[in-house]
Amino acid sequence: MSTMWQGCLAHTDYFEMRSSGGHDYGVWVTTPPDYDRATAQAPVVYVLDGNWTVGMTAPLIITQLDPMQSIQPYVQVTVGYASEEAERWEQLRNRDLVPPGEPVAEEYIDAVETAVETGTMTRGQADAYLTELSDSRADMFLNFLTDDLHPRIESDYGTAPSGHGLFGYSYGGLFSLYAWLTKSTFFDSIGAGSPGIVTADSQVFALLQAMGDTLPATKLHVTFNDREILGDMAVYQNLAKNAATFLHHLTSRNGAVTSALMHETHVTGLQASFLSYLRTCRAR
C-alpha cells in the first residue's frame, strides 16, 4: 500500500486478483497487531463490500488487544473492486452478493427511482444498478472466496486451517445468509447485518425450507436497526420485517443462532453490526 494508506490502515496489504469466473477484485488483508505468520496462525474473517467497509472495519482489528473484552485473533480479508470498477462498486455488488434468481421487489425499484428524482443517482447509474440484479451470481462469488481467494490467503499469510468467519451488511448480509444456507461448513461463524431480504419471496426462504429441520452448525449472528423498522422508507421496513421473519423461522429449530437490534439507520449500522458480530461470535 502507499505510505498514506498504510498510515490509515495499519498492518494492511492490498492486491488485486482475477476470479476463475473472469471478474477482478481488490483485496485488503489486515493482520493482527504483532502477527507472526510463521508461529501464530490465525483464522480469516472475510468482510464484503470492501470499497465501503474497509475503512470502518479493518481498524477494529485492534479489538484483539482490548483488555475489557478482547476478541480472538483473526486476519481480516476485505474484498471489493479494483481500478476503474471501484467507481461502480454499488452496481457490481448486486451481481456478486445477491442469490441467483432473487426477485426484485417493487419497493426496491421505487427506492432507486426516488434516488434518481432527488439527484442521488443519474438515470444511467440507476439503470446499471438494476441491470446487475437481472443476472445475480452469489454462487460464483462464494466460490471465488472459498476456492480462489482463500488458498492464496492461506499460503501467503500462514492462516489457521479452520475457524474462519464471514461478515456482510445489507446485500452483503443477504449473501451471508446465502452462504450459511449453502456452504456454511467452510465458516465457523457468519455475521449478517441488516440482510437485504427485501421481498418475502427471497431465495433464502426457499433454501431454508428445503433444508428441513436441521440447521447448519455454523454460528449465525443477525442484526438489524430500529430506524429501519420505525422509519418511513418501505424498502427498509420490508428488509427489517423479512429479517425478523427469517429469524422467527429458526426459533423452533436447534441452531447456533443469535441476533441483536442496533440503534442505527441502515447506513450508519455497518460498524455497530460488525462489532456485534465480533463480540458475539469471536470473543475470547
The grid coordinates of residue 215 equal 440447521
**Are 100 and 136 contacting, i.e. CB atoms less than 8 angstroms apart?**
yes
Residues sharing a CB contact under 8 Å with residue 40, sequence separation 6 or more, in sequence order: 73
**Residue 75 is placed in which grid cell?**
486476519
pTM over 0.85: yes
CA-angle at 7, arms to 6 and 13, nearest 5°: 20
- DSSP annotation string for 123-146: HHHHHHHHHHHTT--HHHHHHIII
Whole-number pLDDT of residue 4: 47
Could you give all domains of the chain from N- to C-terminal order, each with its CATH number?
15-281 (3.40.50.1820)
**DSSP letter (8 states) at residue 88:** G
Residue 118 CB partners (closer than 8 Å, separation 6+): none
- What string of pLDDT tens digits covers the 284 residues of the chain? 545 455 678 889 999 999 999 999 999 999 998 888 888 899 999 999 999 999 999 999 999 989 998 899 999 999 999 988 888 888 888 899 999 988 776 766 777 677 777 877 778 776 666 666 677 789 999 999 999 999 999 999 999 999 999 999 999 999 999 999 998 899 999 999 999 998 899 999 999 999 888 889 999 999 999 999 999 888 899 999 999 999 998 877 777 899 999 999 999 999 999 999 999 999 98
Query: ∠ CA 35-69-178 to the nearest 5 degrees?
Result: 75
Q: Which residue carries 452483503 as its cell?
A: 172
Grid coordinates standing for 175?
449473501
